[in-house]
Amino acid sequence: MLDCRTMSEEPVILTEGAALIEIAPPAFDVDIAIAYATADNFTGKPVYGRPGCYLHEEAAKLLARAIALAADIGLRLKIFDAYRPTEAQWVLWNHTPDPDFLADPRRGSPHSRGVAVDLTLIDRSGRELDMGTGFDAFTPLSHHANRDIGADAARNRHLLLGIMTAAGWDFYRNEWWHYQMFESRRFPLVSDKALAQPMMPSA
């Protein structure tokens, strides 16, 4: 079991069969911008009631590696989403049931297991590097192998891919921003009800 005191002053959020770690400074030198806690996402309205950012303890270790690799070249990570309650996955799917960009909640998303993260690279001033599209752009231009984006964007995507894969993450071919742990389905799905402090809005 990871000693969370080495990563965060916040306590572990205990769930059934999982331990989620809060991803937040100063333990994690990242910029947090949880898109689904705002109206700035493809649904046009907030999905979360609060901007929680959590990862399974094993995924948190890999994120710490990625943070260190990015820092070595003067860059930081900006996180758009991490753990996503199973209830939220249904909200997204019911709005846009597109299997090319969203996991069918009946199978379960790696996000809902706490082992996936959506992110980009930023420079030390906080400026996002050009990736050719924005986060959650449901278009072929978002595919990793798309060659219709500019050279700078392609270079930045390759840079992010190199950092994340070197840190031990797998990638999803259709979304340049999405990374997940290998064999993600070995981790249990986690409901919002299992959280000590729920993320979904109250009814």
Cis check: omega of the bond before 26, within 30 degrees of 0: yes
Answer for the pair 23, 82: CB distance below 8 angstroms, yes or no.
yes
* Domain-embedded: residue 203: no
Which one has a higher pLDDT value, 28 or 195? 28
pLDDT per residue over 85-98, tens digit each? 999 999 999 999 98
Average pLDDT over residues 154-168: 98
Answer for the pair 81, 73: CB distance below 8 angstroms, yes or no.
no
Q: Is the pLDDT of residue 74 over 50?
A: yes
pLDDT per residue over 142-159, tens digit each? 999 999 999 999 999 999
Q: How far apart are CA 187 and CA 95, in angstroms?
A: 26
**pLDDT computed for residue 202 by the predictor:** 84
H or E element at residue 18: strand 18-22
In three-state secondary structure terms, 119 is strand
* Domain-embedded: residue 200: no
Residue 60 is part of a domain; what is its CATH number? 3.30.1380.10
Provide the number of structural domains found in the chain.
Answer: 1
Nearest Cα neighbor of 188 from 129, 119, 113 is 113
* Domain-embedded: residue 46: yes
In three-state secondary structure terms, 124 is coil
Structural domain boundaries, residue 88: 4-194
* Domain-embedded: residue 144: yes
* Domain-embedded: residue 201: no
Segment among 6-10, 82-86, 89-93, 187-191 with least mean pLDDT = 6-10
* Domain-embedded: residue 35: yes
* Domain-embedded: residue 12: yes
Q: How many CB atoms lie within 10 A of CB 101?
A: 17
Active site residues: 175
